[in-house]
C-alpha cells in the first residue's frame, strides 16, 4: 500500500453484520478501510473485494485474535503502515452470549472481556500517536446494558460497563487531539449465538418506545456523525436504541 490523501479507518469485527455495514458507510464517505476479522475470512475477503471494485486499493482485510497481545500489536502495526496514516478507530468487535452465575469459567470471562474491553484499550494505546497526528477519533461500541444489567449476561454487562468507562477515560487522556465517543445500540440485529423466541422479540420491541427494531445502517450513520460532524463532542455515549434505555 502507498500513502493516501483519503482518511483511513480501522473497523474491528468488520466482516459481517453491523461491522460490515459500518465499513460500507465509511467507504462510501471516502474512507480507506482496514477490515479486521477473526474467523470470518471468506466474508472479509468478499467485502474487501467489493470495496476495491468500487475504489481500487481502498480496502484491506487483516486477521487478528483480539485476545492475543502479539496479534493486537501486529494489527495496529499493519493499520498504521497500510496507507501511512490513521484517522478513525472503530472498536466494533464484540462477543455476546449468556453467562448464568454459577456456570462462568475463566475462559468465558477472558473471551468476553478480550473483545469488549481489552482489545479496545490496547488498540487505542497502540494507535494513539497516529490518531493524534491526524486529529482523529475513536468510537467504541458500548451497550445500553452497560448501565442496567441484562439477566444471565453478567460478564458481558461487566465488560460493556468497562467499555463505557474506557471511552470516558480515553477522552480525557487523548484530548485535545483525539476525540473518543461510544455508541450504545438497542435492538438492531438479533444475536447469532443465542436463539430468541418470537415472543421475546415481540416483548422487547413492545418495550421500545419507537416500537420497531433498528437497522445496522442506524449505527453506521451514527458512526459517521461522530467521526465527521461532531468536532465538539467527546467522552459521550450515544444511545441508538429507539428509546429502549428509557424503559429498561
CA distance 237 to 184: 6
* Contact residues for 107 (Cβ-Cβ < 8 A; gap 6+): none
Dihedral (Cα; 15, 115, 92, 234), 10-degree rounding: -160
Q: Identify the residue whose cell numbers are 422479540.
A: 201
Largest CA distance in the chain: 53
| Active-site residue, 156 included | yes
For 162, the grid coordinates are 468497562
Listed as own residue / partner, the contacts of 40-45 with beta carbons closer than 8 Å and 24 or more positions apart are 40/15, 40/16, 41/15, 43/15, 43/16, 44/14, 44/15
* Contact residues for 132 (Cβ-Cβ < 8 A; gap 6+): 174, 177, 178
How many CB atoms lie under 10 A from the CB of residue 21? Answer: 23
Among 31, 37, 145, 156, the active-site one is: 156
Active site residues per annotation: 156
Amino acid at each position: 500500500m502507498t500513502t493516501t490523501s483519503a482518511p483511513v479507518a480501522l473497523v474491528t469485527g468488520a466482516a459481517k453484520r453491523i461491522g460490515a455495514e459500518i465499513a460500507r458507510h465509511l467507504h462510501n464517505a471516502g474512507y480507506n478501510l482496514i477490515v479486521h476479522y477473526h474467523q470470518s475470512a471468506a466474508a472479509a475477503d468478499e467485502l474487501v473485494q467489493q470495496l476495491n471494485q468500487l475504489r481500487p486499493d481502498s480496502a484491506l482485510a487483516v486477521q487478528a485474535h483480539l485476545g492475543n497481545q502479539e496479534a493486537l500489536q501486529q494489527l495496529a502495526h499493519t493499520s498504521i503502515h497500510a496507507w501511512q496514516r490513521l484517522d478513525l478507530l472503530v472498536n466494533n468487535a464484540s462477543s455476546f452470549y449468556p453467562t448464568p452465575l454459577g456456570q462462568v469459567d475463566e475462559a468465558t470471562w477472558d473471551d468476553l472481556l478480550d473483545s469488549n474491553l481489552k482489545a479496545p484499550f490496547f488498540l487505542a494505546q497502540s494507535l494513539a500517536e497516529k490518531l493524534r497526528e491526524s486529529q482523529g477519533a475513536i468510537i467504541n461500541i458500548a451497550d445500553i446494558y452497560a448501565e442496567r444489567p441484562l439477566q444471565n449476561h453478567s460478564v458481558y454487562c461487566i465488560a460493556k460497563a468497562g467499555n463505557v468507562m474506557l471511552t470516558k477515560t480515553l477522552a480525557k487522556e487523548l484530548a485535545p487531539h483525539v476525540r473518543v465517543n461510544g455508541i450504545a445500540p438497542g435492538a438492531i440485529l438479533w444475536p447469532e449465538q443465542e436463539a430468541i423466541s418470537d415472543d421475546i422479540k415481540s416483548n422487547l420491541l413492545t418495550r421500545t418506545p419507537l416500537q420497531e427494531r433498528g437497522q445496522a445502517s442506524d449505527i453506521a450513520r451514527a458512526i459517521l456523525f461522530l467521526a465527521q460532524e461532531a468536532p465538539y463532542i467527546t467522552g459521550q455515549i450515544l444511545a441508538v436504541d429507539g428509546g429502549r434505555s428509557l424503559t429498561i
